[in-house]
Chains A and B, each alone.
Chain A
Amino acid sequence: MRYQPLNLGRWVLWSATALVLLAAPQIFSASFVLTLMTQMGTMIIFALSYNMLLGQGGMLSFGHAVYSGLGAYLSVHALNLVGHGAFPLPLPLLPLVGGLAGLAFGILFGYVTTRRAGTTFALISLGVGEMVFACSLMLPGFFGGEAGISTNRVVGQPFLGISFGPAIQVYYLVAFWCFVCMAAMFALTQTPLGRMANAVRDNPERAEFVGYNTQHVRFLQLALSAFFAGVSGALSCINFEIVSAENVSAIRSGGVLVATFIGGVPFFFGPIVGAVVYIFFVVALSGFTKAWLLYLGLFFLLMVLYAPGGIASIILMQIPVIRARRFGELLLPYALAAAAALVALAGLIGMVEMVYRLSEQGANTVLTVFGLSFDARATPPWIAFAAVLVAGLAALRHAARFVSARWDAIQQSLQSRAA
């Protein structure tokens, strides 16, 4: 499956993307939203680079944070050297340092990991990830131990009044690199190597019999992917002004896998959507509730079970229906399903929040959810939220049947028209 709009459509899409990146801070100017969007831009590059492995090359990696993390470490050291006046490097070019570091480690580790495909590749990538994480604690000189290494991104004289101190300037730096990397990674899918990566993903054996060494294809694809991961690492170094062992950890590696999968592995733009949603969970939701990771895990689980093509596949499925001007018929069932899902979610949230509150040592057991205050040790709230959850799930079941009945009817009439 490949998303292939007309060339004109492609121009429109890319221009629109650039416009969104440019205009977003003008629309959402709150500083909280600005940090959120800066992190989304960084994550988009990271997730797209991950999908060069998983989606395009069929390589499930459990250690991709190695490349972004080491890119970030090399960047933080480079930035500190620049700060000490050791050598001049304009901050906007720091992502190149990260990218080249990622590339170098991609060549080094990729030589080992890409010798095999499939499960073996996954396991070796996990091993390399653990190895690098262990090194980060063993070599405090380079990795900065538990505290990590901090830096100051404001170096040298401001150029045209741009010092990269204010968050808005960092946002535009990230947005610029995000756009460039998106375009570059899309262009790579349209090269002989990019096409052969798909071929090797689909049928490695046959690829060998049309003249390709599948190991070389995987290796080159991984090295290039590591370059972009390194760029994203450098951008996060600029944004946070600190790099620690967490940057190379399995948590990061798992995070990018979750983000990419949620967005949609089979489509180029899937990871872009996934990165936005993922950062929303990690950054925005974590400000509201301690249970954010549980909600993220649950969401991931539901996507794996019911929408393995990710959010992108759900969006793309609607396009033929919209083209046939039949989307209106789906609005009611969709609205009912959404309402039922929200009711179930409300019940779930209430119960989860009570569990979290009770698990905290010595915390006040009275909590406020949806503007209602109650004691988590009392029975009635439990019964009430459980009832809401069950009612929501029951309604969702009916609504889902309604959706699929309407959906099937539309598909059938579209098919009979096409035949």
Chain B
Amino acid sequence: MNAALELRDVHKSFGTTKIINGVSLAIPAGERHAIIGPNGAGKSTLYNLISGRYPLSAGQILLNGEDITGLKPYEINRKGLSRSFQVTNIFHRLSVYENIRCAVLWSLGYRYSFWHRVGGLRDAQRRSVDVMERIGLARRRDTLAGELTYAEQRALEIGITIAGGASVILLDEPTAGMSRTETANAVELIRQVTEGRTLVMVEHDMGVVFNLADRISVLVYGEVIATGTPAAIRSNAAVQEAYLGTLHKEVASA
């Protein structure tokens, strides 16, 4: 079986500093996969490599068996991979509805059209309304994205990411900065909107990780030191060593 997303010996250096040091990972279709690791382990860099934001120094990345190494972000997105950002990255001066609609236009084939009237595109409208309902922002439809609360902006961030119907979803710390209730809601939302898709997420909240993930990879100093089910990761000696201190207790208690 082909993996939905496969990394083969991926390397990334900035100057002489090696950030990612030979990461290999195969994530089967439909899996919810979490990547954890201490600060500075290279999790965000790994995302930037997969989504085409940075070029690789060496290695190969495959999406549904197809080589996407060296492609531009928009090319990778068109092939069915969509990502969110750790720092909210939305269209601040557009309404919630317009934010979502921008994210569905390409996938519905409207591309750079200047001959369609966007208000008359029933499919785009239906998909946008559906996404807004799923992320719980239907009531905020006409609010400018910049005027939403933080939790709402995070939900919109996820909405933009899933709206295009990508088969592989990368979420970068979706619950960062949220309260306990907001986090619980976000977990439910993520579980629901990634149903039937492949999910890769970077997350610091161990509760979220062990609650959502089918498998977990632990990234330390640019290398994956372990990959396995939550139970296997919890009892893994190397992980416990890497996570000495507070996170250790979090992993154990989650």
Q: Are B73 and A208 in contact (CB under 8 A)?
A: yes
B164 at the interface (CB under 8 A from A): yes
Q: Are B94 and A196 in contact (CB under 8 A)?
A: no
Q: Is the contact region of chain A dominated by helix, strand, or loop, or is it mixed? A: helix
* B interface residues, tally (CB under 8 Å): 36
Q: Are A195 and B73 in contact (CB under 8 A)?
A: no
B14 at the interface (CB under 8 A from A): no
Contact of A193 among B90, B101, B114 (CB under 8 A): B114
A187 at the interface (CB under 8 A from B): yes
Q: B residues within 8 A CB of A205?
A: 89
Q: B residues within 8 A CB of A1?
A: 93
Q: Are A199 and B112 in contact (CB under 8 A)?
A: no
Q: Are A210 and B112 in contact (CB under 8 A)?
A: no
A5 at the interface (CB under 8 A from B): no
Stretch at the interface among B18-26, B33-41, B75-83: B75-83
Q: Are A206 and B160 in contact (CB under 8 A)?
A: yes
By beta carbon, the residue of chain B nearest A202 is B91
Q: A residues within 8 A CB of B73?
A: 208-209
Chain B nearest CB, measured from A172 CB (Å) = 28
Number of A-B contacts (CB under 8 A): 93
B51 at the interface (CB under 8 A from A): yes
Measured between alpha carbons, how far is A40 from B105 in the docked complex, in Å? 37
Q: A residues within 8 A CB of B82?
A: 209-210
Contact of A210 among B102, B114, B118 (CB under 8 A): B102
By beta carbon, the residue of chain B nearest A7 is B119
Q: Is the contact region of chain B dominated by helix, strand, or loop, or is it mixed? A: loop
Contact of B115 among A191, A196, A213 (CB under 8 A): A191
By beta carbon, the residue of chain A nearest B82 is A209
Interface residue ranges of A212-261 to B (CB < 8 Å):
212-213, 216-217, 220, 224
Interface residue ranges of B181-239 to A (CB < 8 Å):
none
Q: B residues within 8 A CB of A206?
A: 85, 89-91, 160
Q: Are B106 and A212 in contact (CB under 8 A)?
A: yes
What per-residue 1/0 map shows which CB atoms of A143-173 lie under 8 Å from chain B? 0000000000000000000000000000000
Contact of B113 among A187, A191, A198, A208 (CB under 8 A): A191
Residue among B72, B85, B111 having the largest count of chain A Cβ atoms under 10 Å: B111
A203 at the interface (CB under 8 A from B): yes
B107 at the interface (CB under 8 A from A): yes
Chain B nearest CB, measured from A3 CB (Å) = 13
Measured between alpha carbons, how far is A195 from B83 in the docked complex, in Å? 21
Q: Are B93 and A196 in contact (CB under 8 A)?
A: no
Chain B nearest CB, measured from A100 CB (Å) = 16
B150 at the interface (CB under 8 A from A): no
Q: Are B83 and A209 in contact (CB under 8 A)?
A: yes
Q: A residues within 8 A CB of B160?
A: 206, 210
A190 at the interface (CB under 8 A from B): yes
Q: Are B89 and A203 in contact (CB under 8 A)?
A: yes
Q: B residues within 8 A CB of A207?
A: 102
Q: B residues within 8 A CB of A188?
A: 114
Measured between alpha carbons, how far is A368 from B74 in the docked complex, in Å? 66
Measured between alpha carbons, how far is A292 from B116 in the docked complex, in Å? 44
Measured between alpha carbons, how far is A202 from B72 in the docked complex, in Å? 20
Q: B residues within 8 A CB of A196?
A: 102, 105, 112
Q: A residues within 8 A CB of B112?
A: 192-193, 196, 212, 216-217, 220
Measured between alpha carbons, how far is A216 from B117 in the docked complex, in Å? 19
Measured between alpha carbons, how far is A187 from B160 in the docked complex, in Å? 25
Q: A residues within 8 A CB of B140?
A: none
Measured between alpha carbons, how far is A216 from B164 in the docked complex, in Å? 19
Known A199-B91, A202-B92, A206-B90; contact A211-B114, beta-carbon cutoff 8 A: no
Chain B nearest CB, measured from A206 CB (Å) = 5
By beta carbon, the residue of chain A nearest B102 is A199
Known A209-B74, A209-B77; contact A192-B91, beta-carbon cutoff 8 A: no
Q: Are A190 and B117 in contact (CB under 8 A)?
A: yes
Q: A residues within 8 A CB of B72?
A: 208, 213
Interface residue ranges of A1-37 to B (CB < 8 Å):
1
Q: Are B116 and A191 in contact (CB under 8 A)?
A: yes
A263 at the interface (CB under 8 A from B): no
A308 at the interface (CB under 8 A from B): no
Measured between alpha carbons, how far is A195 from B91 in the docked complex, in Å? 11
Q: A residues within 8 A CB of B152?
A: none
A271 at the interface (CB under 8 A from B): no
Q: Are B103 and A198 in contact (CB under 8 A)?
A: no
A194 at the interface (CB under 8 A from B): yes
Chain B nearest CB, measured from A200 CB (Å) = 9
Q: Are B77 and A202 in contact (CB under 8 A)?
A: no
By beta carbon, the residue of chain B nearest A201 is B93
By beta carbon, the residue of chain A nearest B120 is A190
Measured between alpha carbons, how far is A208 from B92 in the docked complex, in Å? 16
By beta carbon, the residue of chain B nearest A210 is B103
Measured between alpha carbons, how far is A198 from B118 in the docked complex, in Å? 13
Measured between alpha carbons, how far is A194 from B78 in the docked complex, in Å? 20
Closest 8 CB pairs of A and B: A211-B106, A193-B114, A192-B110, A208-B73, A210-B103, A202-B91, A211-B77, A199-B102
Query: Taking beta carbons and an 8 Å cutoff, which residues of B are in contact with A?
Result: 51, 72-74, 77-78, 82-83, 85, 89-94, 98, 101-103, 105-107, 110-119, 121, 160, 163-164
Q: What are 27 of the A-B contact pairs (CB < 8 Å)? A: A1-B93, A188-B114, A191-B114, A191-B116, A192-B111, A192-B116, A192-B118, A194-B114, A194-B118, A195-B98, A196-B105, A196-B112, A201-B93, A202-B93, A206-B85, A206-B89, A207-B102, A208-B72, A208-B73, A208-B77, A209-B73, A209-B77, A209-B83, A209-B89, A210-B164, A212-B112, A220-B114
Query: Taking beta carbons and an 8 Å cutoff, which residues of A are in contact with B?
Result: 1, 187-188, 190-196, 198-199, 201-203, 205-213, 216-217, 220, 224
A-B contact sample (17 more), CB < 8 A, given A210-B106, A211-B74: A190-B119, A191-B117, A192-B105, A192-B111, A192-B114, A195-B102, A198-B93, A199-B98, A203-B90, A203-B91, A206-B160, A208-B72, A210-B77, A210-B102, A210-B103, A211-B106, A211-B107
